Amino acid sequence: MKMVAYIVVLVLFSITSSLVFAYDPSPLQDICVADEKSDVLVNGFVCKDNKKVTAHDFFFEGLDKPGNTENKVGFNVTTVNVDQIPGLNTLGISLVRIDYALNGQNPPHTHPRGTEILTVIEGTLYVGFVLSNQNNNTLITKTLNKGDVFVFPIGLIHFQANIGHTPAVAIAALSSQNAGVITIANSVFGSMPPISDDILAKAFQVDKQIIMKMVAHIVVLVLFSITSSLVFAYDPSPLQDICVADDKSDVLVNGFVCKDNKEVTARDFFYYGLDKPGNTGNKNGFAVTTVNVDQIPGLNTLGISLVRIDYAPNGQNPPHTHPRGTEILTVIEGTLYVGFVLSNQNNNTLITKTLNKGDVFVFPIGLIHFQANIGHTPAVAIAALSSQNAGVITIADSVFGSMPPISDDILAKAFQVDKKVIDLLQAQFLVKP
Ligand SMILES: *[C@@H]1O[C@H](CO)[C@@H](O)[C@H](O)[C@H]1NC(C)=O
Ligand SMILES: *[C@@H]1O[C@H](CO)[C@@H](O)[C@H](O)[C@H]1NC(C)=O
């Protein structure tokens, strides 16, 4: 009987698994920290020996520091991708901080390999993206205030402009270890060698004189095409521009059925209130505010989502895993002690780090991890997950609080303790109806 109960639990797990969004990254090992010293060229980077891996390989500091926006367009992107955090290799996610001067803008650009999910930390932005020809190049725009969240689907041209009276700051995550950037003006009018002015004059239906002027005015800041040959092919690749989840459909698919594009509005890519703290008045003293496909239907098929985590003093986000997503986290306020545990194959090595404001850390997909507030004040983090619906399995609740319970015979043997100890644990975690 107890065995049967156990199997039912497994079956329930596999049923939810069959509804999983299969499109997210799925690395072939726990971790594959990029080996900067290797000459071997692969898709992404060669892995460093796990014996030489430390917490530093998953860490970046200084994301609380503004970038210098004193340039022609008045913006600055601080990138935290696999070049800054070698541990991101094969994990399909990265983070950026964007600073906007007064009247500054992040000019029209695309990320060839990543969907972007952005939250405003300070200021007011006017943002938008343009659907492809097939969808009549429809422009979708929105004004964003502090705590608002917006999505820019993979490969689509988009922009952000500071329309407030103060500098603005955003934190954004991208569904790739190296999403790439193609700034339209630079790519079209500033390529090296230049695209023939005959071709551009015809493409833009203007006089060649105008094209020559535009070419002269564009300064190529960075040559992004060089990085393109090192593409990470493992990231999401939707089959259309957008597939906004249709919450009225009864049809069950992997993810959600798409709503008719004619009914899509900017609201489908929007969420507000991420500046508001969650209620940490619970046993563990923490609260997660989730912004996934349930809150933003436009995230469907795009392989990314965002959370805000609040921690009371001494609060913790207890050991858990995300079955479908790698997490990249940055500390907005306070001090956290964080860690993750490698799998059996890697001797269950624990990798830990103390994080302060502006620090960034990575929790690879599926690995058990935790965060604890070790400061004297409440702490806040923003984290992105490489799935539209990464899932959470809290170890204590899943093992000792499943419904029906896992047999205490099985657990006593698994944990090599007396059945009484298991019963005590189960009494703590079984939800009383
Ligand atoms: C962005 O800011 C950093 C740090 O202040 C600076 O080194 C870099 O040159 C800036 N980039 C641009 C494009 O202005
Ligand atoms: C695009 O425009 C065509 C022609 O006006 C129209 O038939 C079609 O429904 C439009 N598609 C969308 C997605 O708006």
* pLDDT (tens digit per residue) in 387-417: 898 889 888 888 888 888 888 988 888 888 8
| pLDDT (0 to 100) of residue 391 | 87
**Protein residue whose Cα sits closest to atom 9 of ligand 2:** 262
CB–CB of 91/29 below 8 Å?
A: no
Place of tokens 């060669």: 46
> Looking at per-residue confidence, does 305 or 195 come out higher?
305
For helices 2-18 and 408-415, angle between their N-to-C axes, nearest 10 degrees: 80
Fold that domain 11-181+224-391 belongs to in CATH: Jelly Rolls (2.60.120)
CB 382 within 8 A of CB 330: yes
What is d(CA 301, CA 303) in angstroms, rounded to the nearest whole number? 6
Residue 369 is labelled as binding a ligand: yes
- Residue 392 or residue 356, greater confidence: 356
pLDDT for res 210: 78
CA of 67 to the centre of ligand 1 (A): 6
Once rounded to an integer, what is the mean pLDDT over residues 171-191? 86
Phi, psi (rounded to 5 degrees) for 261:
-60, -25
Q: Is 320 annotated as a binding residue?
A: yes
Q: What value, to the nearest 5°, has the Cα angle with vertex 119 and ends 102 and 369?
A: 140
User: Where are the chain's structural domains?
Assistant: 11-181+224-391, 189-223
Q: Model-level pTM greater than 0.75? A: yes
pLDDT single digits (tens) 364-386: 988 899 999 999 999 999 999 99
Question: Is the minimum distance from the CB of 71 to ligand 1 under 6 angstroms?
Answer: yes
Sorting pLDDT into bands at 50, 70 and 90, what band is 184?
A: confident
- Whole-angstrom distance, CA of residue 290 vs CA of residue 280: 14
Distance CA 273, CA 290 (A): 11
Whether 67 is in the pocket of ligand 1, judged by its Cβ within 6 Å, is yes
* pLDDT higher than threshold 50 for residue 232: no
Bridge partners (DSSP) of residue 308 are 289, 382
CA distance 181 to 371: 32
Distance 96 CA to ligand 1 centre (A): 13
Pocket of ligand 2 (CB under 6 A): 135-136, 261-262
pLDDT averaged over every residue in the chain = 84
Q: How far is the CA of 67 from the centre of ligand 2 (A)?
A: 41
pLDDT per residue over 245-258, tens digit each?
998 998 887 788 89
> How crowded is residue 333: how many other Cβ atoms within 10 Å of its Cβ?
16
Which pLDDT score is estimated for 1? 35
Per-residue pLDDT at 237: 53
Q: Which atom of ligand 2 is nearest to the CA of 138?
A: 14
Strand ordering across the sheet containing 336-341: 350-355, 336-341, 368-373, 316-321, 393-394
Degrees to nearest 5, angle at CA 281 with 150 and 366? 55
Residue 146 CB contacts under 8 Å (≥ 6 apart), including other chains:
120, 121, 122, 123, 124, 275
* Alpha-carbon distance values, 370 to 260, 294, 400 (Å): 40, 24, 18
Q: Greater confidence, 218 or 131? A: 131
**For the chain, percent of residues with pLDDT exceeding 70:** 88
Structural element, H or E, at residue 370: strand 368-373
Q: Give the closest ligand to the alpha carbon of residue 133.
A: 2
- Asked if pLDDT for residue 296 goes beyond 80, the answer is yes
The SS3 of residue 372 is: strand
**pLDDT (0 to 100) of residue 25:** 41
> Under the phi-then-psi rule, with left for phi > 0, alpha for psi from -120 to 50, and beta for the rest, what region is 332?
alpha
Query: What's the mean pLDDT in 415-428?
Result: 89
User: 26 falls in which pLDDT band (50, 70, 90)?
Assistant: low
- What is the mean pLDDT of the segment spanning 291-304? 94
